């Protein structure tokens, strides 16, 4: 029996993302997602497909899905054609997985391992997006690509407050899989790793169990593990001018292959949760500069009202403290510059040495030029933010995320390895 | 390590949707051995295969004269397709893998007269009937002949190892009997390789109460304490207790069990796919229990086991290689190259400082273990495709 005879397309389980908000597919992610769907945001439905092909890679402007599986790979083959084949296989597999199909052909050859590992069968695509980028190390001497390295892909310099672990930092290729179903996201990364065997190995990976960013006006701002709404004023998908100005690489790049792309910075930010939990409420609110329950800026009443950075108490002290996170992270503190935050809460169990929770924020930020955006922003935050007492940056990675793929037969990095 | 018996696959791949009956299954790969007749479809001995989402598997001509034939393939935009096969009666006689959308490739076969099917798994439609007329010039042998010959050679290899294993077990027994601990430890180091090369064969002799693999190779805790015997019981005495005390009975038992194994391997025949699966299992051994240091938990000579699992797997591959390369020369070359890389990596852990010839498991860093595991996986992934390709109809 060949593919067309069985072809257990996952599509049959999928409802359109544009369908009625009340229609949810089987295997949904539970109450949280249902609640959000009921808000009327088409983007927050559990099911549905996100187009894979287009001028930009999906997974950036796509309203943030609920779950993350991220992996960084190191290339072990020095053969350019083998790398090209891998990227070609990944592109074909991603095109299928994001549309709810198993990768490759479905055969019943009993003597051969199944081409798809199978754990996503029947789950639907759950808005799966797969986003791929190239790390600075790809442009070393191995593939003769030094001349193709964009200037904006400069190594991130040491920053204040870094406690980075090399083993979970950097990498040749970064892959972000986001979905509303954690198993669908994991399935994507697992099959990428399998397709890579012999050509690339996974260097590190990170699962994220809940989005911490809203990247669409249709989404509520989620809370981070400190219990705060952080990122209220994130760039939203609807603000296309902001995307052109701060996220998408345009004609200003020194590397034409990066046009339509972006640069992603990932930072594993461990929260010292137990310490935070013993801090008193007013101090917690001063650290963020927002009220814990409503998310309103200090001195305000509602979450989305403008942040008044100049307001002062009668005694002359600022209402939003000078070292509050909201103030230092505000575009006002950075000449109007913004980044697109797309992070996820994570936990990796407990710290084996201390028994304390190893959990926090896997920070993901997309931008036009990290030298002008993430680096100066983090330099200021890492040096002055009162939040630093409760967080540690334990990993760092940077990837140049190229343009979206035009259609079947196109693949990531064609201009580099083709 | 003691584990479940060889998982024999129960059914073989059947022919495609069309009821194609091959007149003669005597295809043998290798464009170099091509005959002198010209293709019926024209002067070219090349067929152009185009795979697309819209039209599926398309080929420029469907009938050819017997002899050498090359398929030049382009996967335009079919995301479900990564390979093309030429099948006769459901058996693969030639193929090209690594053809994701946007890539090109080719493969050559030497085909005899008969009915064939060109299959692009995942395409719609996924097959085209190919007719070959005439008779190909004779060559060194059919794929089936080569595989059969390889299987015979592998059976001989297994028998040789089993014979050496008995002798090494006897040496170990004698050293224990004489009471010389150092000699006994050395004899243990020297006996292990012969078992590690052919372990899946012993695993296949598990029926009812008889479990040769467990009797020879169970680790502490794998079986009830009262039944624990074999290599690792002896290992515990020699390396943990540092004494030969009470080991004579176990040594005698080991000799008896290895003799049983040798007897069972005489006249044993293998199907090519069994050899492929056996090779895969040997590498699974490395990945599952050697790389974790669980196998040789007292002597810490896990690298000896790793080297010999690798060696045994490579021998199995070598037996299939002449036939396999006619079916898929690129896959064969990939596996060979990955084996070579694994061999080279293992070699870096060789040392004259230890009686076993390798560094001890405890001296491996995390990075070493990761590298070894990745090198093993790099062999396993392409190797896992071999069984289905050499399966006989």
Q: For residue A28, give the DSSP letter.
A: -
Out of A29-38, A150-159, B253-262, B343-352, which region has the weakest mean confidence (pLDDT)?
A: A29-38
B208 confidence band (pLDDT: 50, 70, 90): low
Per-residue confidence (pLDDT) for residue B296, from 0 to 100: 94
Alpha-carbon distance A101 to nearest alpha carbon in chain B (angstroms) = 9
Cβ proximity of A136 and A149 under 8 Å: yes
At B292-310, the pLDDT tens digits run 889 999 999 999 999 999 9
Q: How far apart are CA B184 and CA B175, in angstroms?
A: 5
Beta bridge partners of A397: A266
- Tell me which residue of A54, A42, A234, A40 sits closest to A127, measured CA to CA: A42
Alpha-carbon distance A269 to nearest alpha carbon in chain B (angstroms) = 24
Average pLDDT, chain B: 86
- Percent over 70 (pLDDT), chain A: 88
Report chain A residues whose CB lies below 8 A from the CB of B16: 2
Write the CB contacts of B214 (distance below 8 Å, at least 6 apart in sequence). Answer: B2, B206, B222, B223, B227, B230
Q: Does the pLDDT at position A51 exceed 90?
A: yes
State the pairing for strand pair A262-271/A391-401. Answer: antiparallel
Q: Does the pLDDT at position B152 exceed 90?
A: yes
Alpha-carbon distance B101 to nearest alpha carbon in chain A (angstroms) = 4
Across A264-282, average pLDDT: 97
Per-residue confidence (pLDDT) for residue A105, from 0 to 100: 66
Report chain A residues whose CB lies below 8 A from the CB of B101: 88, 91-92, 95, 408-409, 411
- Hey, are the CB atoms on A111 and B387 less than 8 Å from each other? yes
Q: Write the ipTM.
A: 0.80
Instruction: Indicate which of A75, A110, A111, A410 best probes the interface with B, i.e. most B CBs within 10 Å of its own CB.
Output: A111
Q: How far apart are CA B143 and CA B132, in angstroms?
A: 18
- Percent over 90 (pLDDT), chain A: 84
Interface of A with B in 67-86 (CB under 8 A): 76, 84-85
Write the CB contacts of B70 (distance below 8 Å, at least 6 apart in sequence). Answer: B31, B45, B46, B47, B106, B107, B108
User: Is the model more confident about B384 or about B393?
Assistant: B384
Q: Does the pLDDT at position B352 exceed 70?
A: yes
Report chain B residues whose CB lies below 8 A from the CB of A5: 17
Q: Which two tokens stand for residue A414?
A: 């064609």
Q: How far apart are CA B70 and CA A53, in angstroms?
A: 34
Q: How far apart are CA A260 and CA A51, in angstroms?
A: 16
Q: Is B344 helix (H, G, I), strand (E, B) or coil?
A: helix
Per-residue confidence (pLDDT) for residue B207, from 0 to 100: 65
A104 touches chain B (CB under 8 A): yes
A30 touches chain B (CB under 8 A): no
At A63-74, the pLDDT tens digits run 999 999 999 999
B19 confidence band (pLDDT: 50, 70, 90): very low
At B20-49, the pLDDT tens digits run 333 333 343 333 323 333 344 444 588 999
At B312-338, the pLDDT tens digits run 999 999 999 999 999 999 999 999 999
Q: Does the pLDDT at position B126 exceed 80?
A: yes
Which among A95, A101, A110 has CB closest to B9? A110
User: Is the model more confident about A244 or about B13?
Assistant: A244
Q: Does the pLDDT at position B288 exceed 90?
A: no
Q: Does the pLDDT at position B10 exceed 90?
A: no
Cβ–Cβ pairs < 8 A, chains A and B: 117
At B81-90, the pLDDT tens digits run 999 999 888 7
Per-residue confidence (pLDDT) for residue B68, from 0 to 100: 85
Report chain B residues whose CB lies below 8 A from the CB of A76: 374, 378
- Hey, are the CB atoms on A76 and B374 less than 8 Å from each other? yes
Q: Does the pLDDT at position B183 exceed 80?
A: yes
Q: Does the pLDDT at position B340 exceed 90?
A: yes
Structural domains in chain B?
A: 10-138 (2.60.40.420), 143-390 (1.20.1420.20)
Q: Which residue has the tokens 């067309």?
A: A4
At A97-110, the pLDDT tens digits run 999 999 976 666 77
Q: How far apart are CA A178 and CA A184, in angstroms?
A: 8
Per-residue confidence (pLDDT) for residue A256, from 0 to 100: 97
């Amino acid at each position: 029996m060949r593919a067309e005879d069985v072809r257990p397309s996952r599509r049959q389980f999928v409802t359109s993302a544009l369908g009625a908000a009340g229609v949810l597919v089987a295997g949904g992610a539970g109450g949280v997602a249902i609640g959000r769907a009921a808000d009327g945001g088409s983007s927050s439905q559990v099911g549905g497909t996100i187009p894979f092909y287009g001028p930009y890679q999906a997974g950036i402007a796509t309203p943030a899905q609920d779950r993350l599986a991220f992996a960084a790979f190191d290339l072990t083959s020095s053969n350019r054609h083998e790398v090209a084949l891998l990227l070609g296989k990944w592109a074909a597999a991603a095109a299928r997985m994001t549309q709810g199909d198993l990768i490759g052909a479905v055969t019943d050859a009993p003597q051969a391992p199944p081409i798809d590992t199978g754990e996503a069968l029947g789950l639907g695509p759950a808005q799966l997006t797969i986003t791929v980028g190239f790390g600075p190390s790809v442009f070393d001497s191995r593939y003769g690509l030094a001349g193709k390295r964009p200037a904006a892909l400069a190594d991130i310099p040491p920053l204040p407050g870094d406690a980075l672990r090399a083993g979970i930092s950097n990498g040749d290729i970064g892959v972000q899989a986001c979905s509303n179903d954690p198993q669908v996201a994991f399935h994507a990364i697992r099959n990428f790793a399998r397709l890579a065997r012999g050509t690339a190995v996974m260097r590190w990976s990170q699962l994220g169990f809940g989005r911490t960013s809203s990247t669409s006006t249709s989404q509520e701002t989620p809370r981070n593990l400190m219990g705060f709404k952080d990122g209220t004023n994130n760039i939203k998908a609807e603000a296309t001018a902001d995307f052109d100005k701060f996220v998408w690489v345009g004609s200003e790049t020194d590397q034409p292959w990066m046009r339509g792309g972006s640069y992603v910075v990932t930072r594993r930010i461990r929260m010292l949760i137990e310490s935070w939990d013993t801090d008193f409420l007013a101090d917690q609110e001063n650290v963020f500069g927002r009220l814990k329950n409503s998310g309103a800026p200090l001195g305000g009443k509602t979450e989305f009202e403008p942040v008044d950075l100049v307001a002062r108490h009668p005694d002359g002290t600022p209402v939003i403290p000078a070292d509050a996170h909201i103030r230092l992270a505000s575009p006002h503190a950075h000449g109007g510059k913004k980044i697109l935050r797309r992070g996820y809460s994570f936990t990796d169990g407990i710290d084996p040495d201390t028994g304390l929770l190893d959990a926090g924020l896997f920070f993901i930020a997309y931008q036009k030029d990290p030298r002008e955006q993430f680096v100066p922003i983090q330099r200021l935050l890492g040096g002055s933010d009162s939040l630093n007492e409760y967080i540690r940056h334990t990993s760092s990675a940077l990837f140049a995320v190229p343009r979206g793929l035009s259609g079947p037969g196109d693949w990531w990095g064609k201009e580099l390895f083709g | 390590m003691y584990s479940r018996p060889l998982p024999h696959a129960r059914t073989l791949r059947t022919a495609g949707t069309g009821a194609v009956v091959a007149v003669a299954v005597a295809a043998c790969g290798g464009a170099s051995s091509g005959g002198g007749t010209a293709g019926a479809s024209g002067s070219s001995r090349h067929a152009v295969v185009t795979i697309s989402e819209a039209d599926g598997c398309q080929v420029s001509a469907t009938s050819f004269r017997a002899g050498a034939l090359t398929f030049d393939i382009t996967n335009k935009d079919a995301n479900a397709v990564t390979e093309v096969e030429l099948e006769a009666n459901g058996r693969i006689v030639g193929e090209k893998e690594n053809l994701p959308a946007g890539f090109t490739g080719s493969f050559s076969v030497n085909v005899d007269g008969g009915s064939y099917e060109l299959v692009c798994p995942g395409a719609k439609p996924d097959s085209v009937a190919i007719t070959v007329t005439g008779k190909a010039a004779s060559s060194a042998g059919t794929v089936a002949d080569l595989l059969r010959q390889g299987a015979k050679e592998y059976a001989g290899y297994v028998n040789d190892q089993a014979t050496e294993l008995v002798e090494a077990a006897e040496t170990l027994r004698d050293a224990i009997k004489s009471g010389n601990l150092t000699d006994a430890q050395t004899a243990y180091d020297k006996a292990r390789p012969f078992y590690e090369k052919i372990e899946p064969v012993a695993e296949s002799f598990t029926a009812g109460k008889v479990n040769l693999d467990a009797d020879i190779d169970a680790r502490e805790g794998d079986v009830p304490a009262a039944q624990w015997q074999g290599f690792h019981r002896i290992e515990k005495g020699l390396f943990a207790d540092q004494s030969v005390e009470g080991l004579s009975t176990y040594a005698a038992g080991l000799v008896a069990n290895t003799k049983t194994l040798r007897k069972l391997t005489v006249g044993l025949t293998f199907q090519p796919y069994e050899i492929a699966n056996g090779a895969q299992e040997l590498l699974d051994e490395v990945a599952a229990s050697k790389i974790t240091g669980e196998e040789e938990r007292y002597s810490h000579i896990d690298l000896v086991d790793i080297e010999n699992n690798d060696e045994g797997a490579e021998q199995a591959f070598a037996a299939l290689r002449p036939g396999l390369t006619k079916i898929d020369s690129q896959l064969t070359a990939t596996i060979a190259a990955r084996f070579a890389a694994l061999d080279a990596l293992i070699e870096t852990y060789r040392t004259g400082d230890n009686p076993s010839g390798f560094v001890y498991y405890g001296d491996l860093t995390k990075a070493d273990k990761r590298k070894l595991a990745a090198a093993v996986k790099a062999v396993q992934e392409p190797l896992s495709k071999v069984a289905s390709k050499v399966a006989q109809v």
